[in-house]
Each structure stands twice: as C-alpha cells, then as structure tokens.
C-alpha cells in the first residue's frame, strides 16, 4: 500500500504545474500514506506562537528569512492542532523594532505563548558552477515567553542538503525558483517537529526536482 501511494505521489510530481511546485513539496509528506511519526514537541497546541527566522544571526527582512517564516507559519497552521500562528508581517515589525535577540520583549509585545527562533547559517545554493544544490546549517530554538530566555526545545540541522544526492543543472531552472524549493523543504523539516507526519515521504523528495520550471 505504501509503495502504491508513493508511485501516485511521484506521478503527481511529474505533472504538477510550476506554480504549484513549492506547495507540492511542502505537502509531499501528506500525499504519501504510511505510519505517522509523533510530534517531538507537543506543547504548541492551543497556544499563540511567533516564528522568527534570521539569516546568519541577524535580520529578518531578507528574502531567505521572509520565505522561511511564511512557509513555517503556513505549515504549522495547516497541520498543527489548534496552533495559533501569528502573522509573519506583524512578527517582523516587532522584531525590527525590538531586535531579534530580545526574545522576552518580542514575545511580550506580540502576546505570544511561545517564540520559535530559526537561524540559517552559511546558506549556499550552488555546487560548483553548473549545479543547484542547497546546503546550510540551521538551528531551531523554542522559548516559553513566560519563562524569559529559557529554551524549552531545541534542534540542529547541520549541513542540511537538498537534493540529498546529485543536483539540478543551472539550465533547468533559475536561482530564485530553486531557492524557494530548497527553503520549502527545510521549512517542512523544521515545522514537522510540532505535528504528526509521515517519515516515508522523504524517500521521494529528490524526484520532485523534475517539476522545476525551466528558465
């Protein structure tokens, strides 16, 4: 049954339009059936959550941070159980006013129960001169606002790479499109720590690069 559903998912990938590419990747784990893995951190249920994404420890308004924060917020809203995710634009306004390092103040200003801090370091989108292959170091920290700067859940994603093997030739797509796909896969890996998901979905991820639009 799992193999049959994986085949269906890959057929869908082969026929999806370019506009649906990023959404498809974000939801691939839900297309393929199988045994679901439990959330690693379950305390976000029925809570107000602010997502703050930074690049290299600073700034939340660059393209990478904006795409990631919106993707994570969307995934938590869609798949999390009764998680109230605060509007990314509202979060960004407060962070720019307060500064990304003042967790307690950001959370208090937003009246959030939890603050999810994601930092992306050393992002590279190319391997050599001819292939797109994303890699970065990503860290995730969750703070309970009422407890100040105390981290209640943390996880690192060192050298997170996509595609996991090979790459996408530069003639097959453009950098902006590939960046969106890579960050969508990374956002999924971060967000799924907070809801149930199907781990067998990872098997077909590399095949999804076939749906990338060409230049």
**Tens digit of each residue's pLDDT (9 = 90 or more) over 48-59:** 999 999 998 877
Alpha helices in 150-212 (DSSP H): 175-191
What domains sit in the chain, N to C, each tagged with a CATH number?
37-196 (3.40.50.10610)
How far apart, in Å, do the first and last CA atoms of the chain sit? Answer: 37
User: Helix (H, G, I), strand (E, B), or coil: what is residue 53?
Assistant: strand
Q: With contact defined as beta carbons under 8 Å apart, do 44 and 83 qualify?
A: yes
- Bridge partners of 49? 85, 114
Phi-psi region of 9 (alpha: psi -120 to 50; beta: other; left: phi over 0): alpha
Q: pLDDT digit string (tens) for 151-200? A: 999 999 999 999 988 899 999 999 999 999 999 999 999 999 999 998 88
Of the two residues 160 and 203, the one the predictor is more confident about is: 160
pLDDT of residue 58: 78
Categorize the per-residue pLDDT at 24 as very low, low, confident or very high, splitting at 50, 70 and 90. Answer: low
User: Would you say residue 206 has pLDDT above 80?
Assistant: no
C-alpha torsion 31→13→172→183, nearest 10: -10
pLDDT of residue 61: 81
**Total residues belonging to the chain:** 215
* CA angle, 171 then 14 then 5, to 5°: 145
Categorize the per-residue pLDDT at 12 as very low, low, confident or very high, splitting at 50, 70 and 90. Answer: very low
Cα–Cα dist 97/108, whole Å:
13
Interval 110-120 mean pLDDT: 97
**Residue appearing with tokens 């107000």:** 48
Q: pLDDT digit string (tens) for 81-111? A: 899 999 999 999 999 999 888 999 999 999 9
User: Helix (H, G, I), strand (E, B), or coil: what is residue 9?
Assistant: helix
């Amino acid at each position: 049954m799992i193999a049959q559903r994986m085949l269906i998912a890959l057929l869908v990938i082969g026929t999806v339009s370019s506009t649906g590419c990023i959404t498809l990747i974000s939801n691939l784990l839900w297309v393929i059936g199988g045994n679901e893995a439990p959330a690693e951190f379950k305390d976000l249920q029925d809570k107000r959550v602010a997502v703050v994404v930074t690049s290299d420890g600073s700034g939340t308004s660059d393209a990478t941070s904006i795409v990631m924060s919106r993707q994570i917020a969307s995934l938590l809203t869609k798949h999390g159980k009764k998680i109230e995710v605060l509007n990314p634009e509202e979060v960004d306004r407060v962070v720019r006013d307060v500064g990304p390092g003042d967790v307690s103040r950001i959370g208090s200003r937003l009246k959030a129960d939890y603050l999810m801090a994601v930092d992306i370091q050393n992002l590279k989108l190319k391997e050599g001169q001819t292939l797109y292959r994303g890699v970065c170091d990503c860290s995730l920290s969750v703070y309970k606002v009422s407890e100040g700067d105390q981290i209640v859940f943390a996880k690192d994603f060192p050298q997170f790479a996509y595609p996991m093997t090979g790459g996408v030739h530069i003639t097959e797509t453009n950098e902006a499109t590939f960046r969106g796909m890579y960050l969508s896969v990374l956002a999924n890996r971060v967000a799924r720590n907070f809801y149930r998901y199907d781990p067998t979905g990872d098997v077909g991820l590399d095949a999804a690069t076939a749906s990338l639009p060409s230049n």
